[in-house]
Structure 1
Amino acid sequence: MAFNFKLRSFRNLSDKLRFIGPGILLAIAAAGESGISEALEIGAHYHFELIWVIILTLIFKFAFTNGIARYTLSTGETIFEGLTKIPGPKNWTVVFITLIFLLEMFAYGGMLLFGAIFIDYYLPGVYFERLIALITLAVILFLLWKNSYERIEIIVVAIAICLFVGIGYCLLGFNLPIESIAAGVIPKVPPGSVLSIMALMGAIGSGLNLLLYTVWLHEKSHGECGPDFFKKYIRYVNLDLLLAFFLVSVITILFMTLGVSGFVVSFIGHGEELSLDAIIVQVLYVLSNVPFGNAFFLIFGYLIMFGAAITGIDGRARAISSVLKSSYSTKFSEMQLYRILILIFAGIIASAVIFGEPSALIHSVSAIASIMFALLGFMVIYLDLKLPDYSRGNRVWLLIMVLGSSAFLFMALMMEGTFIIVGLPLIESLVLLIIPVYIFTKTELFRKCITRRLEIADFIWVILIFAAISVYGAFRGIPTEGIVINAGHVGPMIAGIICGPAAGALTGLAGGVYIFETGGSTALIFAIGTIASGIITGYFTYYWRGNLTYSKGALMVIAAELFCYVAVPLILLKDTAFVADLLRRSFLPMLIANMTGVLIFIYFLKEGKYCIIHKQKSRNNIKFRPGKKDVSLSDDKGKKESQQERL
């Protein structure tokens, strides 16, 4: 009897702890961003004055993750499948998040370099930092190749245990300043700390990493869902989340304490820039009084970055592979897609390790990811309102989500003044560019383009119109960091789509000549890139037989911009450091500006219910065929002309 009772008790405990694990993975993924890259520096600058930011941020991020956990338990889907139901173009949210995930791999290259710096301090002069980072990446690939969630969970739990032991041991060398920590709970904004508060909000508890929790939770639940399942396990999922965010808060405060202790005798001004090397040296000086303190700090600093990288790569690969398998027809299995994705991620990370610099890589994609994370808060609210009553969030949850998402959106837009300095002028330029494009779609000349009735004079008019759009987009550029951010590629790209690569090249030539005449160190690069953008979109459209979608439109813009930013400067200058700096300074805003213009044009086409049909005989002409219903176009005499034609 006693044995049976103990067996039942063990089974009950095992059942309750069934969902403990995904939260640990989430905590380690978040710790890689907030544990070292932010908390040490914030502690060095502001001591414990920003503890209140950590508390409020984690409350919101707990509510955010709770919302996506409830969605998974009640529907049996990951949040990524839910995001495909957001109103708008098909799968637009997932495509956009996937793009950000790919860009974030550059930041993971920076994280691995951070980890390599710790090993380099532990074994000075033995290895090169970049070699250590690449070896670490190879080990991660080996561990992920089997696509085993259980293996990853065991590794990350072991890292978490070692992390607590190691940091706790390091802190034995000095007492925790409880009074200072308690005083930091009271909200106040130290002079010059606004940008640090913004950075801390984004880093603490991570941002888009929170979406990965739903992937790991889906693995643990094996897709089970329903009212009974939800009511039985939601409390244990919440316990897992509480454990995760408690772990994040402890790691953050402990690293902040190390940052404070490292500079307690120094006079560091608010906002004064510090290098990671300077912070590490000061912390090592403090820990030199603790036996093996330096070794513990350096080894476990590396382990945090290792854990963040392996969880981040695994979660993103699982998320994207599951969406690709469920939303698109593909001959690959989910396992094959997972392996392809981790190889792609590894390639991006390796390029970042070889050509990049840690701080620049980590902060280069943070602004756009922060904006998307804030918008996702409102999307989670929308999906929550569609859930059954038993799994829907209460009013307190809704209030926290609305206030938190609004605050994050405001902070993201204001971060470093980028939105005000670059974003608003670019939006203004795009609006002024799109208006003539929209008017063009209502003209007889556009009808001739889509019905393949262009004469030489008409072709010349198309070149002139879109050349003017290209020149205006370049003229209205915003100078920043020695580079002019502009939407000058929109004209050649649209000309390439509707009239082929020849039209795109000639249109880009006009914009390229204007850019070249303006002068500057990058004038020739961007002039050639403008010409190439029209050619690339023209050939992409021909390759797809004119069957353009939003995702295909985004893909060909990415290809054109990468050619401009990577291939052209490498061919002309053969300077990889210059390419990395060019990507950091202006790639994202240029990509977003030109992609937005092209996607809006595709929207105009789809609103007109035209599918693009591209005949194999002609490479420079495109025909549009109506979609589900026949659509007639009228000429100036009021006659109707059918668009239906056999392929």
Structure 2
Amino acid sequence: MKSDISNKLKAFGPGILFASTCIGVSHLVQSTRAGADFGFQLVAFILLANLFKYPFFEFGSRFAAATKKNLLEGYLAEGKWVLWVYFILSLASMFTVTAAVTFVTAGMFNNLTGVTLDPAYVSGIILAICTLILALGKYSILDTLLKVIGSVLLISTLVAFFGALSKGQVTLVENFIPKNIFERDSIIFIIALMGWMPTAVDLSTWNSLWTIERMKQTGYVPKLKEILADFNFGYIVTAVLAICFLTLGAKVMYGTGIELSNNSTIFSDQVVTLYTSALGNWAYLIIATAAFSVMFSTTITVVDGFGRAMGETTRLLFFKKADAKNTYKWMMIIVSAISFLFILLLSSNLKDLVDLATTLSFVIAPVIAIINYRVITSKQIPDDYKPGKKLLLLAKSGIVFLTVFAVIYIAVYFFL
């Protein structure tokens, strides 16, 4: 019995890292905006995005369990062109993704500390700190840190969620007119919302990388069911919290005439106020600390994830004899530096920066989904590890879902 529990704990970790990646901009920003602007109208879109994206993230963990390799090696085995496609698509999105999460983190820091520094420069400092911690530390530091931070935010969010439910709906302003979800701007936001719900599909490679790293850290090779149990736990937590954040926005801000600010510091204060309106002003400092902590955890996870994924991709494509640790460190530096330049260029409008990052993620999602489906059904995977018919059917439906909404976005954006 004790050995079973010990083995499960050894497998436990990558799912928390995945959850920490998700519970950042997609939840604190996008889900909150969805509730504040549309009430509960967008719940179905959040649930559908989580449902139809699920197989492609699960495939990353399944591939690592089946082959003891990362998913990027699976891409290469299908053909060098497959890895090139991933490389090009990642280049198109990774800097805006990193810039968006870091800029929100800077706003949370300013709100917590009361400093008046330009969030763009605070972002640069945060990126430098994250890169330094990861370059000097080990996976175990990241793993332990995020388990603690994630637990604090999970508990405080659930308490605030039930507190908001018990208080009932706020009083609507006079002559309040609900937003029409079929308007152009609404459709664009809905697709941006789904772009990172729970996160971008191309981040599925990270699951496999973290799973392999966890094996190296513990010296234990988990069974498929143990790896999937860890992943499913993290995935369910992200889906539940997405609804919690939407509910907080809907219960506290919807219909009040108050809009979420484009200024990252003011926005951060508004998000923390969502909690205190349900819990009381006494909780402000606790929630502000938790909010900053979870955004910092998202930033450090994103820097780590892109560093690992793109470092491994460039190694496999260009420098096969290079040391993986060196390519990882160099790629982290490159990602952080260029993302900082993106922040300097785009930091005047928080919503535009976030929507750009999330929308790019959604538009490229169908391609990554097809690649993941191709890999997980290939000869690389032993029959005992291949997905069942129901999961493959859900994956096929997910490809259709992602493709249809990507086409809708392109048509609406260009007024076709």
TM over 0.5: yes
Give, in whole Å, the separation in 1 of the partners of 2:359 and 2:414: 13
Query: Could you tell me which residue of structure 1 aligns to residue 52 of structure 2?
Result: 60
Further displaced range: 279-288 or 356-365:
279-288
Aligned-pair CA distance for 1:134: 2.4
2:177: which partner in 1? none
Provide the rounded CA distance (Å) in 2 between the counterparts of 1:247 and 1:351: 33
2:35 and 2:248 in contact (8 A); partners too: yes
Match for residue 293 of structure 2?
303
Q: What residue number does 2:195 align with? A: 202
Letter of the 2:408 partner, please give it. M
Distance 1:323 1:315 in 2: 12
Aligned to 1:284: 273
Alignment of 1:376-415 (within 5 A): 376-386=368-378, 387-415=381-409
CA–CA distance in 2 between the matches of 1:22 and 1:278? Answer: 30
Code of the aligned partner of 1:292: W
In 1, are the aligned partners of 2:35 and 2:246 still within 8 Å (CA)?
yes
Between the two proteins, the alignment pairs up a number of residues equal to 394
> Shift of the alpha carbon at 1:328?
3.4
Contact 1:145–1:339 (CA under 8 A) maintained in structure 2: yes
1:76 pairs with 2:68: yes
The alpha-carbon deviation at position 299 of structure 1 amounts to 2.2
Residue type of the partner of 1:75?
T
State how far apart, in whole Å, the 2-side matches of 1:168 and 1:366 are: 25
Aligned partner of 2:40 in structure 1 is: 48
Q: From 12, 15, 26, give the equivalent of 1:34.
A: 26
User: Is 1:174 matched up with 2:164?
Assistant: yes
1:15 deviates by 0.8
Q: Deviations over 1:269-304 (max 9, x none)?
A: xxx886464684486277256143322332222222
- Deviation of 1:190 after TM superposition, in Å, equals 4.8
**Partner AA of 2:386 in structure 1:** R
Aligned to 1:362: 354
Counterpart contact for 2:272–2:291, Cα < 8 Å = no
- Structure 2 residue aligned with 1:236: 226
Query: Does the CA-based 8 Å contact 1:170-1:297 persist in structure 2?
Result: no
State the partner residue of 2:336: 346
Kept after mapping to 2: 8 A contact 1:169/1:293: no
Q: Distance in 1 between matches of 2:383 and 2:205?
A: 23
Question: Which one has a larger percent helix, Structure 1 or Structure 2?
Answer: 2
> Residue 108 of structure 1 aligns to which amino acid in structure 2?
T
Contact 2:58 2:231 in 1 (8 A): yes
Give per-residue Cα distances to partners, 1:3-26, cap 9 Å, x unaligned: xxxxxx322211122221101101
Contact 1:32-1:304 within 8 A present in 2 as well = yes
State which of 211, 216, 223 in structure 2 corresponds to 1:217: 211
> Contact 1:47 / 1:260 at 8 angstroms: preserved in 2?
yes
Q: Distance in 2 between matches of 1:173 and 1:264?
A: 16
Q: Deviations over 1:357-412 (max 9, x none)?
A: 23333333444432322112122221222122211111111111111111111212
Cα deviation for residue 37 of structure 1 reads 2.1
Listed as ranges, the gaps of 5+ residues in structure 2 are 170-179
In structure 2, the CA distance between the partners of 1:135 and 1:165, relative to structure 1 (3 Å rule), is farther
Distance 1:235 1:76 in 2: 14
RMSD value, Cα: 3.0
Q: Is the 1:26–1:210 contact (alpha carbons within 8 Å) kept by the matching residues of 2?
A: no
What is the rounded CA distance, in whole Å, between the counterparts of 2:267 and 2:353 in structure 1?
19
The whole-number CA distance in structure 1 between the counterparts of 2:410 and 2:283 is 37
CA distance in 1, matches of 2:328, 2:137: 7
Paired residue secondary structure (1:206): coil
Counterpart of 2:69 in 1: which secondary structure? Answer: coil
- Contact preservation (8 Å) 2:346, 2:353: yes
8 Å CA contact retained: 1:86, 1:379: no
The amino acid across from 1:307 in the alignment is S
Q: 1:69 to 1:128 in 2, by over 3 A?
A: same
Alpha-carbon deviation of 1:142?
A: 2.0
Matched, 1:21 2:30: no
Equivalent residue letter for 1:308 = T
2:134 counterpart letter in structure 1: L
Distance 2:317 2:268 in 1: 46
Distance 2:377 2:250 in 1: 44
1:372 and 2:361 equivalent? no
Equivalent position of 2:411 in the other structure: 417
> Structure 1 88/150 Cα, relative in aligned 2: closer, same or farther at 3 Å?
closer
Distance 2:392 2:320 in 1: 38
> Match for 1:405: what amino acid?
I
C-alpha deviations, 1:524-561, integer Å up to 9, x for none? xxxxxxxxxxxxxxxxxxxxxxxxxxxxxxxxxxxxxx
TM-score relative to the length of structure 1: 0.56
The structural deviation recorded for 1:147 is: 5.5
Percent identity, aligned pairs only, is 19
Contact 1:414 1:420 survives alignment (8 Å): no
Structure 2 counterpart of 1:559 = none
Matches within 5 A, 1:148-547: 148-171=138-161, 173-175=163-165, 190-192=181-183, 193-207=186-200, 208-222=202-216, 233-264=223-254, 266-267=256-257, 275=262, 277=266, 280-281=269-270, 284=273, 287=276, 290-329=280-319, 332-357=322-347, 358-386=350-378, 387-415=381-409, 417=411, 420=414
Correspondence 1:115 to 2:105:
yes
Closer/same/farther in 2, CA of residues 82 and 147 from structure 1, 3 Å limit: farther
- Distance in 2, matches of 1:194 and 1:419, equals 9
CA distance in 2, matches of 1:223, 1:154: 12
| Preserved CA contact (<8 Å) 1:32 1:111 | yes
Deviations 1:540-586 (A, max 9, x none): xxxxxxxxxxxxxxxxxxxxxxxxxxxxxxxxxxxxxxxxxxxxxxx
Return the offset for 1:342: 1.0
